Amino acid sequence: QPELLDTLQPTDACIIGKLSANTDELAHNMIMANLAAAIRLKNTGATIILQYCDHHLNRPKKHPLYKLYQDLFCLADHVVYPSNKLQQLAIFSISNNTKQHVIYDPWQISKQYSCRELIHEDICRIIWFGSSINTQYLVNQLKSIISQQTTSINFELTILTQTFSINNLKEVIPSLNIVAPNWRIRFVCWSNNKQPDQLEHELAKAHIAIIPSDPNDPAKMGVSHNRVVDSARAGCLVLASPMDSYI
């Protein structure tokens, strides 16, 4: 928050994590506060380490998050990427003095689960999980995914995401006009203070994890492998778009 700027103390290093917001007002406050904090810490001798996991530099140049990350790339002493592909996409924004690193995301699932057998009488449990930026790929392919099945098996699709995204999906999905009486959609609100336990609990109940995306979308080309790794480690059969890091 902007009012916390004067509480900052000199430090050796500042790690800038994922920055995003769901409304313009929140975005502008976040940008002002965090950019000011990074500049002040840099001026007092801190090493600035930027974690770059969403390709915001692919956004329109007038977008506030494009401008923020353009500034952060200029300030950063180190930039850390979750995939080699994202490093390739962002390399044109790097200054000569900035050091680059690829550090793969770790898994969040505490133990290795076995794949779950689907008994004929069972409900086939499918899960999709992700942030608001990824819901568009689910919406784009949901009708096609559901229409592919030709059996009498009952399906339950769990959608695990933020409350903001769930509210949007509840408005959008009915407009897709999907006729599938043997499908049920279950919405679960992502709880930040219950991670990774909530994610592990939901994945460990599912037979299949679906991770639709778009390998031709510059905003997603450099995506981390984390959702594929967590799903597979939790014992799900993973059906995903052929992203570079997934392959």
How confident is the model over 57-84, as pLDDT tens digits? 998 998 888 999 999 999 999 999 999 9
pTM equals 0.85
Question: Do residues 182 and 146 lie in contact, with contact meaning Cβ atoms separated by under 8 Å?
Answer: no
Residue type, 185: I
Looking at residue 218, what is its pLDDT?
Answer: 87
Structural tokens at position 135: 């819901």
Q: Reduced to 3 states, what is the DSSP secondary structure of residue 102? A: strand
Q: pLDDT of 213-238, one tens digit each?
A: 999 998 899 999 999 999 999 999 99
Pairing state between β 99-102 and 78-81: parallel
Give the integer Cα–Cα distance in Å for 79 and 59.
19
Q: Which long-range contacts (CB under 8 A, 24 or more apart) does 187-196 make?
A: 187/158, 187/159, 188/158, 188/159, 188/160, 189/161, 189/162, 189/163, 190/129, 190/160, 190/161, 190/162, 190/163, 195/108, 196/108, 196/109, 196/110
Q: Among the listed ranges 107-116, 145-154, 193-202, which one has the minimum average pLDDT value?
A: 145-154
Contact 20, 54 (CB under 8 A): yes
